[in-house]
Every structure is written in C-alpha cells, then in structure tokens.
Amino acid sequence: MAEPTQFTIGADACCSDGICGEVSRVVVDPVARAVTHLVVEPKHRQGIGRLVPIDLVKVVDRDIQVHCTREELGKLDPAEETEFLPGEKGYGGYGTGEVFYRPYYGLGTYRGLGMGSQPVTYDTVPLGEVAVRRGEHVHATDGDIGKVQGLVIDPQNHHVTHVLLQEGHFWGHKQVAIPISAVTGVDDGIRLKISKQDVQNLPAVDIDHPSG
C-alpha cells in the first residue's frame, strides 16, 4: 500500500526545468473529500497563481514536483482574477457596488477608473470546490483549535485522509493530524465534530515545514 502523501501549504514546487513557485493553497472537492488541484503561485506574488491538476503532481522526498515546464505551467488556468470596483462616484450612472470593471491581469493600468477605485481579487476554483489555505482557522465544537498547515492525501485516489494542524496551539507546540472523519465542513475554515480536548488527545506527528 502506498504511503500517504503530505501536501504542506507553502512548500516549494518544481517544474521539469526548475523551481516554479510555491503551493499557496489546495483545492478540495468537499463532497468527495478529494484534492483536485494545487495552486502554485510565483514567489513573492510575481505573477498569477495557476491551478495545477493533481494528476500532474508528485511528491518525492516531500518535494512537490509538477510534471510540466514552467512555460506549460503558465498556460494552465489562473487560480484568481482581479477586478476593479469603481470609486465613490461609480461609473456610467451606476453606483458603487453595482459595477465591476473587466478582469485585470497586471498588464499596465486602466484609464478612467476614477479616484478611489479598488482592486478586488478572488479565487477562481472549479465549480463546487473550495480552496484551503495555510493559516485558515480550524474550529472544534467548543472553539478555535489552531490553523491549517496542510493536508495528507491517499496517493491512489487523492482522497484527503488528515488535516495537518499548524504548530503553536494553546497547549504548546504539539503538531497533530486530524482524521478527515472528524471534519464536518470546509466553509469559513475547517469545522470539526470533536472538541479541543479530543484534538489535544491525538498523537503528535512530524509535519514538514516549508522554509522561509
């Protein structure tokens, strides 16, 4: 049986021709509880993150390898879009909140946006799926228990088996992997059906931490 695969959010990702960025979040089908994509984002946000299908990803000695070139990666679907919300006066007779400008991809600037125009960036994940980010809150039945560090998946079917909890919880620096069976939802963070004490009683695990 293949060993579970650990996807640590924030880890470096390498294409066939070199480092291509880092994993900024993981896209999950909440019904199947399976990872469908990783979002690989250029270092220091120098460009748009890309949705990388899980079938293109392999973990070797905890290094995340993407089976394509950096040029091919750049042609994958974007993981986010940025639009501009008009300023206080709106635009063309429409008020603030009623108009979005066309998607903005960082190629120069739009003219005529007006004072106070604000960029709004949002995830563009496949319909019905959700993005899990590092640092999202994990909610036990009796309150917040910590933050997401990453996910563990079954390499054969890509099903999520555990949620990795970031170190530095209220009881110290113990690191734990929460079974997916304890997860009831992934909206507004990770929601559990167990208590803080139940999480504290889980055995400690070795979580691979990205550098930097």
Contact 66, 13 (CB under 8 A): yes
Per-residue pLDDT of the chain (212 residues; tens, 9 = 90+): 556 777 788 889 999 999 999 998 888 888 788 899 999 998 776 678 899 999 999 887 767 999 999 999 999 998 876 655 555 554 444 444 444 444 444 444 444 444 455 555 556 767 677 788 888 889 999 998 888 888 888 888 888 888 888 755 555 556 788 999 999 988 778 999 999 889 888 887 765 555 44
pLDDT for residue 65: 93
pLDDT for residue 207: 56
C-alpha torsion sign, points 50, 53, 56, 57: positive
CA pair distance 70, 19, nearest whole angstrom: 8
pLDDT for residue 91: 46
pLDDT for residue 68: 96
Domain containing 107 equals: 80-123
Residues with Cβ < 8 Å from 30, sequence gap 6 or more? 128, 129, 130, 185, 186
Q: How many structural domains comprise the chain? A: 3
Query: Which one of 123, 156, 189 terminates a domain?
Result: 123
- Its pTM stands at 0.66
Q: Which of 84, 65, 76 shows the shortest CA–CA distance to 126?
A: 76
Whether residue 211 lies inside any domain: the answer is: no
Q: Does 47 lie in the same domain as 62?
A: yes
Q: Does 119 lie in the same domain as 63?
A: no
Whether residue 33 lies inside any domain: the answer is: yes
Q: Does 37 lie in the same domain as 11?
A: yes
Q: Catalogue the E-assigned strands of the chain.
A: 5-8, 12-15, 18-29, 34-41, 50-53, 57-60, 63-66, 80-85, 118-123, 130-133, 137-140, 143-153, 160-165, 177-179, 183-185, 190-192
| CATH (domain of 160) | 2.30.30.240
Q: Which residues lie across from 137 on neighbouring strands?
A: 147
| CATH (domain of 10) | 3.90.50.10
